[in-house]
A and B are shown apart, each in its own frame.
Chain A
Amino acid sequence: MRKTPTIAAVALLLSLAACGGGETGGTAAEAPPAKSIILITPNPVGTNSFLQLGVKGAEAAAKELGASFKLYESKDPTSIAQNVDAAVRAKPTVVVGISFSFDDVFNTVPKANPGQQFLQVDSCAKDQAPNLSCVSFKEHEAAYLAGVEAGLLSTSGQIGVVAALDTPFIHRWIEPFFEGAKSVKPESAGTPLYVGGSNPFSDPARAKSQAQTLTGRGVDVIAAAASGGNPGVFEAVAASGGKAFGVDVNQCALSPGNVIDNVLKNVDVAENAAIKEIFNGKAGGVKVYGLAEGGVGVNALGDDLASSGCTVAASPDVVAKVKQTRDDIVAGKITVADPLAG
């Protein structure tokens, strides 16, 4: 009796294998494979708002294209590789991976499977194969806009950033932020501090200490770029009477009245567009989404600003200046230097 399920499973596997054989044989009787998208995340999605946006973008694209959608969540680097293998075996129209965690796998797997299309969002494997498309963002343009708001709203003229780590990529949230502030108030002075430690992306206690170090020196506007540490930064500014900026998604509601605005990354918009291009046969290359493409932004530019909970909504003159700066950047009148290109 016990063996029955095992036998059934083996039978099922064999029948699946038979199906697979049929497909590769390409017999005319088989229906053409349906359009499908498989999205692989580097971590469980949970309430990770960044990954939630990634799922939303791929789901929307699948719906609009009439394709099926599957989500593979990874737990660690090993399971990322296993998920990519499983996805490749399923032969979807496109395999989507989110973040730099896929840099290694996408260096090799696309080359080994030239017939499969891949899309990497928010990073790009160094050794890019022609069947790997990449989507990256001009985070520095949005950080510059946040800097404009910070410059106009800081009373002390001293602003700061609490960032997770001192890495080249994270600098995209630092120097452009200070540049933006200087563009409206040349005497603005910016100080970056880094959380570091053994858990830099989720250590709110250290992030708060760093923010307090800044507020202790008279800094009254701090941009938080510390991932899970951001709420610690919000607590510090709330206690000192300062204001903060959130990152990636709308974090204004996390600390009502203390967050001016957010440096947004519209992963869903960019991913949706990139998937559609691949379905239309325009695969490969790196597509960069900046302010012009709506890939990055700030809440001040959104239609739902009034309900966003962000304090910038109370300063229409600042919002107007941000919109004008956005237009200038899109029109090429202002070029925001990219610290990564540095």
Chain B
Amino acid sequence: MNIFEWSFLSGVLTATAPVLLAALGGLLCQVAGVFNIALEGQLLWGAFTAVVVSDATGSAWAGVAGAIIATVLFSGLLSGASVRLKADPIVVAVGLNLLALGLTAFLMRQIFGSGGTYSSPDLAGLPTLAELGLDIPVLGPQSPLVPLALLLVVAMAWWLTRTRSGLRLRGAGQHLEAAEAVGLPVAAYRHGVTLAAGALCGLAGAQLSLGNVTLFSEGMSAGRGWIAVVAVMLSSVLPYRLLLACLLFGVAEAFGFRLQGAGLPQQAADAAPYVITLVALVLAAVWRRRSHEHA
């Protein structure tokens, strides 16, 4: 395999990583019966806070930690409003997405004194694995958060199918009344998964703003959180399928870039992820219907 193909795979992983991390959060919520569509806003919030903390401390890892903490707090708004106060989670999530967009733009002007894009030599980006001494193909140019995302997929699959707590969580999501009847703390589960999704979106944001690039730009999540929501819907709540769905988008994006270079118009290359989403949704629906008919 030549350099070009290695770089293609690497490009796929770069495009996939932030979407996958956010989608893992979405999946966890879905397992517990919480439909979380605030991923886009949390991703953007995570990207912003990662840059703020990294810029202030000069440490990328402090930035990652800051993004996780800040995004958990941010997702606390969703868990507090929807689980505790019983507000419609969809409405709250839409509000949070809008809040993140406006709040990051506003705080950016307050903190950095500038709008648009912020980048600075003080801003520490995540090191690549190659810089950490692991110069292997494909993963070498990635930040450590990329293999972490892949490991999290395995860990989540194991946890949800092989551990007592994971099975209980699934039970609470699949049959609320039954779970309550056997005395499971369903509300606590829901708070927990929403906050955990916040932590994962914080990681996703840090990967986007300190891993993929080293800067913050207004609205830089650019729909990746929505792609993550779609990936969750496609996954049938199975972590490995979620990985496949996210990789599909990564391939579509990286492939779209290369198709453009080969002469495909940008508008057509741009449509690739959305066409794939539509086709995948339709196929998933068809499969589901078939399996129901056979059952």
Q: A residues bordering B, Cβ < 8 Å?
A: 44, 46-48, 165-166, 191, 193-194, 196-199, 202-206, 208-210, 212-214, 216-217, 228-232, 235, 254-256
Is B219 on the interface with A (CB-CB < 8 A)?
A: yes
7 A-B pairs (CB sep. < 8 Å):
A166-B267, A194-B269, A202-B222, A204-B213, A213-B257, A228-B117, A231-B215
B213/A235 in contact, CB under 8 A? yes
Segment 199-225 of B: residues with Cβ below 8 Å from A: 208, 212-215, 217-220, 222-223
B269 CB contacts on chain A under 8 angstroms: 194, 196
A209/B215 in contact, CB under 8 A? no
Interface hit among B62-70, B185-193, B238-246, B258-266: B258-266
Beyond the given A209-B253, A213-B258, A230-B117, please list 15 additional residue pairs across the A-B interface where CB-CB is below 8 A: A46-B115, A166-B267, A193-B261, A199-B220, A202-B117, A203-B222, A204-B213, A209-B254, A210-B257, A213-B257, A228-B117, A228-B217, A232-B215, A235-B213, A256-B121
A48/B115 in contact, CB under 8 A? yes
Is B165 on the interface with A (CB-CB < 8 A)?
A: no
Is B7 on the interface with A (CB-CB < 8 A)?
A: yes
A232/B213 in contact, CB under 8 A? yes
A209/B15 in contact, CB under 8 A? yes
Q: A47-B116, A228-B116, A231-B119 are in contact. Are A166 and B265 (CB under 8 A)?
A: yes
Chain A nearest CB: distance from B218 CB in Å? 6
Chain A nearest CB: distance from B39 CB in Å? 15
Chain A nearest CB: distance from B13 CB in Å? 11
A191 CB contacts on chain B under 8 angstroms: 261
Main secondary structure of the interface of B (DSSP, over half): helix
Q: A230 — nearest CB in chain B belongs to which residue?
A: B117
B270 CB contacts on chain A under 8 angstroms: 194, 196-197
Segment 228-283 of B: residues with Cβ below 8 Å from A: 253-254, 256-258, 260-261, 265-267, 269-270
Q: A202-B219, A204-B213 are in contact. Are A216 and B267 (CB under 8 A)?
A: no
Q: A165 — nearest CB in chain B belongs to which residue?
A: B266
A205/B267 in contact, CB under 8 A? no
Residue pairs across A and B with CB atoms within 8 Å: the count is 102
A228/B114 in contact, CB under 8 A? no
Q: A197-B223, A202-B218, A232-B215 are in contact. Are A47 and B254 (CB under 8 A)?
A: no
A203/B11 in contact, CB under 8 A? no
Q: Complex: how many Å from CA A229 to CA B269? A: 18
A46 CB contacts on chain B under 8 angstroms: 109, 114-116
Q: Complex: how many Å from CA A216 to CA B257? A: 12
Q: A202-B219, A204-B220 are in contact. Are A213 and B261 (CB under 8 A)?
A: yes
B260/A193 in contact, CB under 8 A? yes
B117/A205 in contact, CB under 8 A? no
Interface size for B (C-beta < 8 A) is 38
Q: Complex: how many Å from CA A232 to CA B7? A: 17
A199/B219 in contact, CB under 8 A? yes
Chain B nearest CB: distance from A49 CB in Å? 9
Q: Complex: how many Å from CA A191 to CA B217? A: 26
Q: Complex: how many Å from CA A64 to CA B11? A: 54
Chain B nearest CB: distance from A229 CB in Å? 8
B213/A166 in contact, CB under 8 A? no
B254 CB contacts on chain A under 8 angstroms: 209
Q: Complex: how many Å from CA A232 to CA B118? A: 11
A202 CB contacts on chain B under 8 angstroms: 116-117, 217-220, 222
Q: Kindly list the 7 A-B residue pairs having the minimum CB-CB distance in the complex, ordered from nearest.
A: A46-B115, A194-B266, A166-B266, A47-B114, A196-B270, A199-B222, A198-B223
Is B82 on the interface with A (CB-CB < 8 A)?
A: no
Q: B3 — nearest CB in chain A belongs to which residue?
A: A216
A231/B4 in contact, CB under 8 A? no
Q: Complex: how many Å from CA A172 to CA B269? A: 21
A166 CB contacts on chain B under 8 angstroms: 265-267
Q: A47 — nearest CB in chain B belongs to which residue?
A: B114
B212 CB contacts on chain A under 8 angstroms: 205, 208-209
B222 CB contacts on chain A under 8 angstroms: 197-199, 202-203, 205-206
A212 CB contacts on chain B under 8 angstroms: 7, 11
Chain A nearest CB: distance from B264 CB in Å? 11
B261/A204 in contact, CB under 8 A? no
Q: A46-B115, A216-B7 are in contact. Are A196 and B14 (CB under 8 A)?
A: no
Chain A nearest CB: distance from B268 CB in Å? 10
B213/A205 in contact, CB under 8 A? yes
Q: A197-B223, A199-B222, A213-B257 are in contact. Are A231 and B117 (CB under 8 A)?
A: yes
A230 CB contacts on chain B under 8 angstroms: 117
A228/B223 in contact, CB under 8 A? no
B11/A204 in contact, CB under 8 A? no
B220/A205 in contact, CB under 8 A? yes
A44 CB contacts on chain B under 8 angstroms: 115
Q: Complex: how many Å from CA A21 to CA B254? A: 64
B117 CB contacts on chain A under 8 angstroms: 202, 204, 228, 230-231
Q: Complex: how many Å from CA A300 to CA B11? A: 35
Q: Complex: how many Å from CA A44 to CA B215? A: 21
Most buried by B among A202, A204, A214, A255: A204
